[in-house]
Structure 1
Amino acid sequence: MILFSIGLFSDLITELKRGERFIMFVVFVALLSSASAAKYCCAPPQWEGDMGIVMGIVNQGQSTIVEGTMTISTDEVNEIVAFNQTLAVDGKPVNQRIVNDKKNNVMYIMDSTGCHKTVASPFLLGCIPDNATETTDNIHYGLGSNSVKVKAYTINYSGYSVYMAVTADSCVPVTEVITGSLEAITGQQEYGPSETMEALSFANISPGIANRAVFDVPAQCEPRQTQPIGRRALFVI
């Protein structure tokens, strides 16, 4: 389930085709409902956990595969989120840490080349949107007593669809699958026709922020020219 919209879209398709270093965000659906008016449910305002991802993109006949893991720490109260990513793009390793500080309107990208900063991307509340359709409220992940009850939702947007499952009692994300047009997801049309499918899994979720050092950034960080996403969230590679 996607709880907020964070995102940065740095000439993704162009750089993928060139094989150059790039920044990309794994697609999260932007859940736009406010907590006070949510029809379904809202995730905890602060939580941490692990994520697994497999994502495929096809652009003008060229395919790209993204896979790997990351840790996430999200603080809706202070409008800040941090990722520590260990990923592979077509087999090429990409290791980086991202801190998106919406309150101060800065996003930090830290990798082997140093620290770079750009304008923060949007941070939206983590509620299932009102236009979602609840497909089931009586399924379980696990075996017997060692299982968790989940609710599943489908959200159809213009050009793409989102399928997600969250815990029935606390709205914590469990799995999410997104399929459709990358242009529709990002709201940007200049990269040519691109189709994507992404599967996310969540594990070891815990409430609160255990150590706020996850949001620390270097004192010196060079500006970077990037293009923030205006509509839907994307995770970073």
Structure 2
Amino acid sequence: MMLQAVLLASLAVVAHGTICCAPQQWEGFKDYTIVDNSGGERGLQYYSYDALNQRYALSTNYTDNVSSNKEIWDYRQGTGYRINSDKQTCESFAISGRFPANCIPSGAAELGPLFYGFGTDSLSALAFQFNDTRNEFQNTVALVTRRDCVPIISTTTILRPGNNYLYTLGYNNVFPGIRDATVFDPPSYCRKSAMTEVNSLYKALRV
């Protein structure tokens, strides 16, 4: 479940007002580190974010820019997929709730402007801190570019009874837009898996 927390985390799920939001369509790499009472985990994900159509896709644990594990989350369709292209396996699951917006919520405290690098190579950024207490206590410090609110780094502490979490996300090689929209299309064997599940359920109901 440690990894699942990172898969869903961008900046914040925003319901009431924002200071700024990332572009509605972008792609890039997320380098994540998670630590809890049982140990830690590190990995690299390629992330395609499409707020216009309320969906995102990610490929996990890249090695030499190759990954066989992929997830597609389509909130408009209410369906997600967990895919292993090497084994050609596909698990579908239902999705509910609000699409996770890449935004800084209106109640966030600004920690001050800053920049990376120097001179003409400097990147101007803003840092914010905010809490989320709807389901559990979360404290996040997020750094975004001053222009366009593109995520740079975020660190989140989650307090749970008996097990606290710390995870960090570093974003790199971010590009605007979606270069290939088929990244959101499940492979053909996903549809075959879905038909197998339907047929199995039908047979069980007839018994």
User: Given the two structures, how large is their TM-score scaled by the length of structure 1?
Assistant: 0.69
Q: Is the 8 A contact 1:99 1:107 kept in 2?
A: yes
Q: Give the superposition deviation at 1:143.
A: 3.2
Q: What's the CA shift for 1:65?
A: 1.2
Residue number in structure 1 paired with 2:110: 134
SS at match of 1:78: coil
Deviations 1:28-56 (A, max 9, x none): 2533056xx53x11111101111101111
Shift of 1:220: 3.4
- Deviation of 1:68 after TM superposition, in Å, equals 1.2
Local SS of the residue matching 2:182: helix
Structure 1 distance, partners of 2:72, 2:13, is 20
Deviation at 1:73, TM superposition (A): 0.5
Distance of 2:107 and 2:175 partners within structure 1: 28
1-structure distance, mates of 2:45, 2:175: 15
What's 1:18 paired with?
Answer: none
Question: Aligned to 2:78, which of 79, 94, 105?
Answer: 105
Which whole-Å CA distance do the structure 2 matches of 1:117 and 1:76 have between them? 21
1:48 aligns with 2:27: yes
Query: 3-state SS of the aligned residue for 1:171?
Result: coil
1:145 alignment partner AA: T
Residue 219 in structure 1 maps to residue 188 in structure 2? yes
2:69 paired residue among 86, 92, 96: 96
The answer to whether the 8 Å contact 1:33/1:128 transfers is no
Partner of residue 30, structure 1: 12
| Contact 1:33-1:127 within 8 A present in 2 as well | no
Rg larger for: 2
Classify 1:80/1:125 alpha carbon distance in 2 versus 1 (closer, same or farther; 3 Å).
Answer: same
CA shift, 1:144, in A, is 2.7
Structure 2 residues not aligned, in runs of 5+ = 195-207
Runs of at least 5 residues in structure 1 that lack an aligned partner in the other structure? 1-11, 14-22, 89-93, 184-191, 224-237
Provide TM-score, normalisation by structure 2.
Answer: 0.79
Q: Secondary structure at the residue paired with 1:104?
A: coil
Runs of 4+ in 1 over 3 A off after TM superposition: none
Contact 1:66 1:87 (C-alpha < 8 Å) held by counterparts: no
1:86 equivalent to 2:65? Answer no
Which letter maps to 1:168? R
The verdict on how the C-alpha distance between 1:204 and 1:163 changes in structure 2, with shifts beyond 3 A counting, is same
Q: SS of the residue aligned with 1:164?
A: strand
Structure 2 contact 13–99 (Cα < 8 Å) conserved: no
Q: 2:164 & 2:180 partners in 1: Cα distance?
A: 38
User: Following TM superposition, by how much is the alpha carbon of 1:125 offset from its aligned partner in structure 2, in angstroms?
Assistant: 2.8
Partner of 2:145: 167
Aligned residues: 181
* Cα deviations by residue, 1:174-233 (Å, 9 ceiling, x for unpaired): 00001131x4xxxxxxxx52101111100111111011121121233346xxxxxxxxxx
In the TM superposition, residue 24 of structure 1 has moved relative to its aligned partner by: 2.3
Percentage identity across paired residues of the two chains: 27
Could you say which structure has the greater relative contact order, defined with CA pairs below 8 angstroms and 6 or more residues apart?
1
Matched, 1:204 2:173: yes
- The root-mean-square deviation of aligned C-alpha atoms, in Å, is 2.3
Displacement after TM superposition at 1:69 (Å): 0.6
Do the aligned partners of 1:67 and 1:87 also contact (CA within 8 Å) in 2? Answer: no
Instruction: For 2:185 and 2:138, locate their aligned partners in 1 and report how far apart those are by CA, in whole Å.
Output: 35
Between the aligned partners of 2:4 and 2:100, the Cα distance in structure 1 is 19
